[in-house]
Chain A
């Protein structure tokens, strides 16, 4: 009797389940075909010598070759140098902007968000071409301004110690909009009574920020930090389009190296291995950040 009732309930749920599956199917297919399959295929080819007609298992050779090649270490260094600029700028910048606009009118707040979002919705190719013309030391806007001021043009794109921070700043302008929206939403949604209670206890604005607001939005900050790290360790378009990896290979990032090996030189196995190493590096960085941001947190 009980079983029959259960069966009846299950039958009633069946259309609902089919409905859910129908809606999920396109996304699941997308994830399976374009994410999960390439990921495992990437792992597989990283252990193979890939020619256009065959794949031969060669064990760890691609990984060993990668670690022996100087350009890999240079690319790792370039990636970290760019991240060293972008991650603090994006995290601190989004906090600063969010705190600044928090008390402003809703209209101003929305205008700021739109302004920040504009670079993110503009084609990276267009931006890179514009920036290339702006920062060229021989014919760009920057060079013209230096000429007007009677000073030597700044070698933005040819002096590695300037190019790497410049790339970092430009990547930041592309990536900061989303974190600002997340952080400002977290601040807006914060329980105001916490601030009121702290004010009653005599806390000033700075103390409120440090002891109340920041801990309250800590999960959002952690999320921003982790997603920013994941995104920026895979920086590719801006160095590719703006500097072509130069000067002196100073902006050949890890993903750029993967691209070069795969699509310029046809070394798919090596590119696969480097892609997997990048995946592990991202994993380690995210774990470290996760531990760091969890430390001292109160559930």
Chain B
């Protein structure tokens, strides 16, 4: 009887092992913030369900992170060895992961899946090994213009037809002409902000497009102190002094600026990364019953200083990383399988692309951008060419970028409050950047 029982138990064990590719059941933890806002989390949960079905014995537990304190949570987890198995996020946090020696080399995942955007995979490259798997490309940092308002105030024709060929003179003329008519309605031509660090990439794009830079080519020294950079800040000050920006710029945060744009109190927004995201947000407001009809929104590149080619600051890609943790081979293998599954799953990538069209796919695959909204289709078509001007090489992917950017907005505050001239603000930022570089 005992022998029969033992044989039965052994049979059950063999059968249960046979249902999984792994020695035992594997439970993975995955942390991610809602990096693409609308559609991402639903698409991710669907993807996980498909992956779990295809890989019995593997389960993935998702922890959806809140934007508040996300960097601190990741830092604490890395320091206390409590990191998840898989981490998906924007490069503001993932770009520094490869140099921490905490992540698994995922070169094999990239190799087996193939067809990757070279720039995107290079974000995770350290000493010929790759530590990040891109999930999507990041949107170009461009302006969102409320076309309905621009037409209402008779300035729509002043916008460049190709969405990028304009200089600061044209831009200032647009804002001033708009302000002459819109301010009486309490509508401001633009919403600038200097009260928060987030979305500061808009200002780096402003500087890059004007021909300035933050760091030198090999990132050993600040290269910000140029006449172009000073001129950009002088223009910002002029916008503020002329009352063309929404009031309270010194304490306005990017979220507040987005709020006033969505309330149609400003014509130009610099936080939404263009018209596609603007349309998405307005469509969501229509769905929620907050507004009856979404206004038309279009994306435009920041102006250049003298008509030169535009230069758009870009965070590169949203990426996934696998933490080594205790080095459990089954877990690492399952996590790699998941990332490969995510990279090649057509339904996931197609859904993601359609729900957030400004976040393009990071690898070439046989998928289509399926859009129903005509305004969205037109907008995606109109701004596609701007992606060619994306620039992630100005220092934004360096592990110490977080330290550098902490000095920009205080100087911007000083400028808009009149406590520093453009020259002083740039010199002060330059000194701070060099100080950071000295210790990194």
Contact = CB atoms under 8 A, between A and B. Distances in A.
Interface string B240-258: 0000001110111000000
B400 interface: yes
Contact of B78 (A52, A69, A136): A52
Contacts of A262: 75
A44 interface: no
Interface stretch (B148-156, B165-173, B376-384, B410-418): B410-418
Given A51-B101, A69-B439, A138-B252, A264 B402 contact: yes
A52 B402 contact: no
Contacts of A159: 417
B72 interface: yes
Contacts of B435: 69-70
B79 A137 contact: no
A260 B405 CA distance: 13
B251 A158 contact: yes
Interface stretch (A102-110, A217-225, A241-249): A241-249
A52 B79 contact: yes
Interface in B392-440: 400, 402-403, 406, 409-411, 413-414, 417, 419, 431-432, 435, 439
Q: Is the interface of A mostly helix, strand, loop or mixed?
A: loop
Q: On chain A, which size bracket covers the interface? A: 20 to 34
Interface string B61-97: 0000000000110011011000000000000000010
A266 to B, nearest CB: 5
B199 interface: no
Q: On chain B, which size bracket covers the interface? A: 20 to 34
Contacts of A124: none
B247 A70 contact: no
B439 to A, nearest CB: 6
A158 B250 contact: yes
Contacts of A136: 248, 251
B22 to A, nearest CB: 26
B250 A266 contact: no
Interface string A78-120: 0000000000000000000000000000000000000000000
A155 B250 CA distance: 9
B174 to A, nearest CB: 24
Contacts of A292: none
B419 A263 contact: no
A244 B406 CA distance: 11
B294 interface: no
Contacts of B431: 70
A65 interface: yes
A47 interface: no
Contacts of B112: none
Interface in A235-253: 244-249
Nearest to A159: B417
B117 interface: no
Nearest to B195: A246
B100 interface: yes
B102 A52 contact: yes
A139 interface: yes
Given A71-B432, A263-B75, 17 more contacts: A51-B100, A51-B101, A69-B435, A70-B431, A137-B248, A137-B251, A155-B250, A159-B417, A246-B251, A248-B410, A248-B419, A264-B71, A265-B400, A265-B402, A265-B403, A266-B78, A266-B96
20 contacts: A51-B101, A52-B101, A53-B101, A53-B102, A70-B435, A136-B251, A138-B247, A158-B248, A159-B417, A246-B195, A246-B413, A247-B251, A260-B406, A263-B71, A263-B76, A264-B402, A265-B402, A266-B75, A266-B78, A268-B79
